[in-house]
């Protein structure tokens, strides 16, 4: 009996010892085992979803082809010359200095007229040629050349320059409104002395405005008797020996300034 008890005790002790060994040694072996390393062929790369671009920057628009047409919004429309012919203009320009061109001005969206008149300024019964022209043809450096007012006599195919005056700086003509008649060059008695004066309006352009100028021409003498600045110009005609009134208005003003003849000039 004692022998069985001894054997049972020994077996129990062996089982307990083996169990303790495994409980102690096996976790330690797990902790000591080195971690697995991923080979290069098995590394994972995080990729963006298929519906999203890799580069969030917006690509620039493609360049405009060199052959693409350029819009010219500010270009002047083509207008037809009326009141004379191109051949007649070239003939009159032959009486002017070399390179001079007779100025033209628009009268509608489709037509333009040349700035010249025939009028008897000295009362001798023979009309003079009053013409606004440039000093020379347009160029890249001066697309709107300086304007000149010239008075010539033409008899028997021969011309004689009576007077020539540089107008106010700028190569743009402005309309003068005389009782609804619009033109940048007018011959009319505005001083009440029964002799006609030459009225012309010119300047730099629509935004900067221009100047209404009045000239008394006697022989070879051309004297300026009015120089009125503004954007819009009017002449209120007088009657008989009553002089006319000149009126000028800036485009941003409601009222026009009135200029009256004082016997020497308009003030």
pLDDT tens digits, one per residue of 8-17: 565 565 565 5
| Strand order from edge to edge, sheet including 257-259 | 181-183, 176-178, 232-236, 245-249, 257-259
pLDDT at 5: 56
Q: Which residue has the higher pLDDT, 140 or 191?
A: 191
pLDDT, tens digit (0-9, with 9 covering 90-100), for 142-159: 888 899 999 999 888 788
Q: Which residue has the higher pLDDT, 137 or 127?
A: 127
111-114 and 80-81: which strand pairing?
A: parallel
Cα Dmax for the chain: 175
Gyration radius (Cα) of the chain, Å: 49
pLDDT at 39: 38
Q: Residue 60 has which token pair?
A: 């620039």
Give backbone dihedrals phi and psi of 181, rounded to 5 degrees, phi first: -85, 125
Q: Sorting pLDDT into bands at 50, 70 and 90, what band is 257?
A: very high
pLDDT at 57 over 60: no
pLDDT at 2: 54
pLDDT at 153: 93
pLDDT at 262 over 50: yes
Q: Which residue has the higher pLDDT, 187 or 7?
A: 187
pLDDT at 90: 94
Query: Residue for token digits 């060059």?
Result: 185
Q: What is the mean pLDDT of the chain?
A: 81
pLDDT at 35 over 80: no
pTM, two decimal places? 0.71
pLDDT at 87 over 90: yes
pLDDT at 155: 81
pLDDT, tens digit (0-9, with 9 covering 90-100), for 125-134: 999 999 999 9
Distance of CA 69 to the CA centre of its chain: 19
Percent helix, strand and coil across the chain, each to the nearest 5: 15, 35, 50
pLDDT at 148: 97
Q: Residue 166 has which token pair?
A: 């540089």
Determine the Cα–Cα distance for residues 19 and 41; give it in Å rounded to an integer.
43
pLDDT at 52: 45
Helices (H), 33-152: 86-93
pLDDT at 196 over 80: yes
Q: Sorting pLDDT into bands at 50, 70 and 90, what band is 6?
A: low
Average pLDDT over residues 44-68: 45
Percent of the chain at pLDDT exceeding 70: 72
């Amino acid at each position: 009996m004692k022998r069985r008890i001894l054997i049972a005790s020994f077996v129990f002790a062996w089982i307990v010892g083996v169990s303790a060994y495994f409980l102690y040694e096996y976790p330690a072996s797990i902790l000591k085992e080195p971690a697995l390393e991923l080979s290069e062929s098995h590394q994972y790369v995080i990729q963006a979803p298929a519906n999203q671009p890799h580069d969030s920057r917006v690509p620039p628009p493609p360049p405009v082809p060199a052959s693409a047409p350029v819009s010219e919004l500010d270009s002047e429309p083509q207008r037809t010359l009326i009141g004379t012919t191109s051949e007649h203009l070239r003939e009159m320009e032959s009486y002017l200095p070399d390179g001079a061109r007779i100025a033209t001005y628009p009268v509608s969206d489709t037509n333009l007229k040349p700035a010249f008149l025939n009028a008897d300024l000295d009362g001798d019964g023979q009309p003079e040629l009053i013409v606004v022209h440039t000093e020379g043809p347009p160029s890249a450096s001066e697309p709107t050349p300086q304007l000149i007012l010239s008075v010539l006599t033409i008899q028997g195919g021969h011309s004689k320059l009576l007077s020539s005056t540089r107008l106010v700086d700028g190569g743009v003509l402005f309309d003068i409104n005389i009782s609804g008649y619009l033109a940048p060059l007018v011959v009319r008695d505005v001083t009440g002395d029964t002799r006609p004066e030459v009225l012309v309006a010119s300047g730099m352009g629509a935004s900067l405005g221009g100047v209404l100028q009045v000239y008394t021409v006697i022989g070879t003498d051309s004297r300026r008797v009015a120089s009125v600045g503004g954007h819009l110009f009017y002449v209120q005609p007088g009657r008989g020996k009553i002089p006319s009134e000149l009126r000028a208005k800036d485009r941003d003003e409601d009222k026009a300034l009135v200029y009256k003849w004082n016997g020497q000039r308009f003030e």
